[in-house]
A = this chain, B = another copy of it.
Amino acid sequence: MTIAFIGMGTMGTPMAMNILNAGYDLVVHNRHRDREIPLVEKGATRAPSPAAAAETAEIVIICVSDTPDVEEIVLGENGIIRGAGKNTLVVDMSTISPAATRRMATTLGEKGIRMIDAPVSGGSEGAINGTLAIMAGGTPADVETARPVLASMGKTITHVGPVGSGQVTKAINQVIIAATYLGVAEGMTLGLKAGLDMEKVVSAIAGGAAGSWVLENRSAFMIKNDYPLGFRVRLHAKDLRIALEAAREMGAALPVSALVDQIESGLIGRGYGDEDVSAMARTIREMSGIDS
């Protein structure tokens, strides 16, 4: 089976590499064409456009940054819709708007082209190791068609509902981590102000109701006020904007998410957009006069 992969970024490159390693024929395309070369060196062939990539493949995977990028790749002048045959399956693994996803799926469907959304979590480490968590939205048949290929990139593949549902699930994930990072930042700041040995504090509370992945894996960054990657503030901020837009469309109110959105806007404006999301603690530390 031939798979096309569009988007050779920090995530896309290792994901495509894992597809190659699983034995699939792979066609790759990236807007900056030189990014295709590492995959070609491992046996992939190149396509000059998304349309050309789609012409050759049964499954076309997309992994790029934001909603307009996916819309251009799917529906643009040289988009997948110009090259894909009937029954081609488009698998969008980007994190984008659920509503835009449903609109694209409808437009593609009118041409007999199928689409699922399958955003991921687990970061670049998960992409490299093939241990991503994949949240899939689409018809059961389409998700099953994609499953073997998805299994070469991810450890868990959960089919959460119809097309767009994967994106809503990813938005929920980002909403929850927003609040968790901010809560851990507040807790660490309170303890630092009180002069406590925060490693002891974390070990005292991490096993109970305050326990979380963030407390376990990111509180040390906040204590040291040093924020190595991880997951960039500007990427989380982009995902949270998608969640807040989806909430607005549905009439849901997300007060903590809105607060974190504002804190991240401030961080990006001050030049911290490429730090880890745990840099949220900068804001709370500075509001509390720890670093002034």
Contacts and interface: CB of A to CB of B under 8 A. Distances in A.
A74 interface: no
A158 interface: yes
Interface string A66-98: 000000000000000000000000000000001
B175 A183 contact: yes
Contact of A183 (B160, B178, B203, B211): B178
A19 interface: no
Contacts of A165: 194, 196
Contact of A177 (B174, B209, B254, B289): B209
B209 A173 contact: yes
B161 A196 contact: yes
Interface string A225-258: 0000001000000000001001100111111110
Interface string A264-285: 0000000000000000000010
Interface stretch (A34-42, A45-53, A185-193): A185-193
Contact of A212 (B205, B212, B284): B212
A22 interface: no
B187 A176 contact: yes
Interface string A194-220: 111100110111011111111101000
Contacts of A9: none
Interface residues of A, number: 71
A275 to B, nearest CB: 16
Contacts of A133: 204-205, 207-208
A172 B160 contact: no
Contacts of A145: none
Given A183-B178, A190-B168, A194-B98, A135 B205 contact: yes
Q: Which of A171, A205, A259 has the most CB of B within 10 A?
A: A205
A130 to B, nearest CB: 15
B210 A160 contact: no
A208 B174 CA distance: 11
Nearest to A137: B196
Contacts of A182: 179, 255-256
A18 interface: no
B253 A284 contact: yes
A214 to B, nearest CB: 7
| Most B CB within 10 A of own CB, among A98, A184, A203, A211 | A211
Nearest to A250: B193
A196 B169 contact: yes
A56 interface: no
A169 B193 contact: no
